Amino acid sequence: MNAGHRVPAITRCVGLALVLACVACNCQEVEEEAHAFLTDESHLACRTSSDCVTVHVGCAQIEDALCGQVVMNGAAARSDDWDHLREEINACSLYTCSGCTVPREAQCEEGLCR
């Protein structure tokens, strides 16, 4: 390989560190957006437990997740806003996790999915 075309290892490492730092910064914003979405009462409103669904969010560090799962109403789960946010959440799951084997059961309690 021609030495003039080689990128020093330190440059590659610094470049990778900057990319990961940028992703981490963006992922913090995604986590905040997810928390806002998941605590918005319009996304949690229900009349019966059948209105509520459990959605898998994987390994992302979402404050409201339990065993990689979150609860919301079906309308929120089918919304374009959630689809877009879920894509961003998936992009922030930079590592693999074993997850939890206990399914989270979505229930309607006092008019909110929990």
Among 96, 67, 62, residue whose Cα is nearest residue 82: 62
| pTM given for the model | 0.73
Count of domains for the chain: 1
Kindly tell me the burial class for residue 75, based on how many C-beta atoms sit within 10 Å of its own C-beta (0-12, 13-18, 19 or more). middle
- Name which residue leads in pLDDT, 58 or 110: 110
pLDDT digits (tens, 9 = 90+) for 90-105: 888 766 666 567 788 9
Average pLDDT rounded to a whole number, residues 27-49: 95
Domain that holds residue 87: 3-113
pLDDT digits (tens, 9 = 90+) for 40-90: 999 999 999 999 999 988 877 888 888 889 999 999 999 999 999 999 998
